[in-house]
Structure 1
Amino acid sequence: MLMSSSDKTAKLYYAPSSFRVLRPGSHVLCAVTGEPIPLPELLYWSAERQEAYASCEIATRRLLGQV
């Protein structure tokens, strides 16, 4: 059975203030927790590490090396 892009994990290129979709999908996974983040709700990522984060707290802890 084929999955629609609404069921797939997207692949993104993270820039400092935006991201570009490389492979369509409905969500990305948080680099720390693994939880799915719907693309319309994606607010936190690291362009340097090319990672997405589910919340500002998770992003801050990751960038401080605490997770």
Structure 2
Amino acid sequence: MNSSENAATLMYGPNGFRVIKPGHFVLCAASGVPVPLDELRYWSVELQEPYASAELSTKRALEEL
């Protein structure tokens, strides 16, 4: 089974996300760890990237400065 087989494609907005391609998880842009959609709390609207934790989100944001 391909690791991206059940990965969702999302569009990230300031107050939530919209499912473009259904799936069970997204891959954290900073760590590559799968994040179940029901546990997804952190993302970047500007970069359109999901993150597994607040720490990884902050780290990625600081890299963009």
Q: Name the TM-score, length of structure 1 as normaliser.
A: 0.86
Q: How far did 1:52 drift?
A: 0.2
Counterpart of 1:42 in structure 2 is 40
Q: State percent identity of aligned pairs.
A: 54
Greater C-alpha Rg: 1
Residue identity in the other structure for 2:39: E
TM-score by length of 2: 0.88
> What is the total number of aligned residue pairs between the two structures?
61
Which of 14, 17, 20 in structure 2 is aligned with 1:19? Answer: 17
Q: In the alignment, which residue of structure 2 is the partner of 1:28?
A: 26
Q: Do residues 8 (structure 1) and 39 (structure 2) align?
A: no
Gaps of 5+ in 2: none
SS at match of 2:26: strand
Q: Tell me what 1:55 maps to.
A: 53
* Partner SS for 1:64: helix
